[in-house]
Chain A
């Protein structure tokens, strides 16, 4: 019993003495922190998704106060969050460029048959390492749903071997786009009306051999566009959304039906 009491007394006493010492030291060496950082951190959604380009919500909050980062970079919180941060910082919020994820592939199991039967773990990164992926097209969505796993907002489903984004739920954080081993998910402006649904950069003949709904790089869209907004780069069409007005003429002309006009 005596031993226990001594032990308690010694450790407790040390703790008390050193605790008091630290309490005193924390007063002496106190560092004043800008209380706006805490306020901004409370205003942010706290998803720590990194869409703003900083390590997380707290890093973004510190960057706003210390380095003058723009207040409208949170694509998850959108305008309400930008407004409340602007209020804390006393600046104008400006426009928030809302983004949405878009899967540039329609190569589902019907149009782009599998090379082999895959029975490994359900992960696109693992699958992409196995003989160059399950599909003949080297740019195709692998359909194992790694993007679905990282999505914090349940906005992704995998349908018939291709990821599909629910634009209602998508916050534009870009987590899926960063994890995708095939870089098949692009972050596009939410306002965009016309989208290219393929990223196959093979030449026409082999592209259409590997997938029935593949861009063949025929440049028909490029010739049709009156606004210089769509170009074929590396045998696949790309839309420049700063120029695209959403007329949809390219979609009408596309012989493979790769370009589509979004509803609404």
Chain B
């Protein structure tokens, strides 16, 4: 498998959020504004690359039976590091993401990539896989959070969009709005995919 393919898989064909539906907790919880979405996505990407590289380096050393425990130690270390860095240099982002930074430890995307990819592939490919999956996750969070911020708060990146003319639908920034937006986006993606597949089938047949 070529490097570019690994990247493309994470970004599009096996997008962790829209296709694999992994990591729903941060997806629904922190996507209330674009800033939070981007911050969460990039933090998770950094953790993902770090954990993928370390796990791939140690893949021959870690016995199969205790791999989960070992992975969790590695991931928890990476997350703690990221949390310290965010606290030190981006305190505003750290306080608005709050509990969801330490919760990256139990984000299933990261453990899933460790299990499914990093434990079986070389360091370089694992790093690329981490980057692809992380950016796929970031992109998905950005799309959801941009939609939610525009519709729910009437702003984008904290800039007022339409003032007092239209009352923003604040339900979109609340928990039910997260489900609604995510559902609609996945529905649209599936519809496009379905059309592509039937077209391809039509050309063949």
Contacts and interface: CB of A to CB of B under 8 A. Distances in A.
Interface string A6-38: 110011001100100110011011110000000
A168 interface: no
B66 A11 contact: yes
Interface string B85-113: 10111010000000000000000000000
Contacts of B66: 7, 10-11
Given A11-B66, A15-B73, A31 B91 contact: yes
Contacts of A18: 73-74, 76-77
- Counting chain A CB atoms within 10 Å of each CB, the highest count among B81, B85, B89 belongs to B81
A3 interface: yes
Interface in A26-73: 26, 28-31
Contact of A14 (B65, B70, B84, B89): B70
A10 B77 CA distance: 15
A260 B95 CA distance: 49
Interface in A188-230: none
Contacts of A30: 88
Main SS class of interface, A: helix
Given A3-B63, A22-B77, A10 B84 contact: no
Contacts of B76: 18
B76 to A, nearest CB: 8
A21 B63 contact: no
A22 B61 contact: no
B119 to A, nearest CB: 14
Given A3-B63, A18-B77, A10 B70 contact: yes
A3 B65 contact: yes
Interface string B48-83: 000000000010011101100110011011001100
Contacts of A22: 77, 80-81
A7 B81 contact: no
A29 B65 contact: no
B63 A31 contact: no
Interface residues of A, number: 16
B69 A11 contact: yes
B63 A6 contact: yes
Contact of B73 (A11, A29, A31): A11
A21 B88 CA distance: 17
A141 B204 CA distance: 73
A75 B144 CA distance: 42
Interface string A159-180: 0000000000000000000000
A31 B85 CA distance: 10
A22 B74 CA distance: 11
A11 B70 contact: yes
A25 B76 CA distance: 14
B70 A29 contact: no
B77 A21 contact: yes
Contacts of B73: 11, 14-15, 18
B90 to A, nearest CB: 11
A29 B63 contact: no
25 contacts: A7-B63, A7-B66, A10-B63, A10-B66, A10-B70, A11-B73, A14-B58, A14-B70, A14-B73, A14-B74, A15-B73, A18-B73, A18-B74, A18-B76, A18-B77, A22-B77, A22-B80, A22-B81, A25-B80, A25-B84, A29-B84, A29-B87, A31-B87, A31-B88, A31-B91
Q: Which 5 A-B pairs have the closest CB atoms?
A: A29-B84, A18-B77, A29-B88, A7-B66, A14-B73
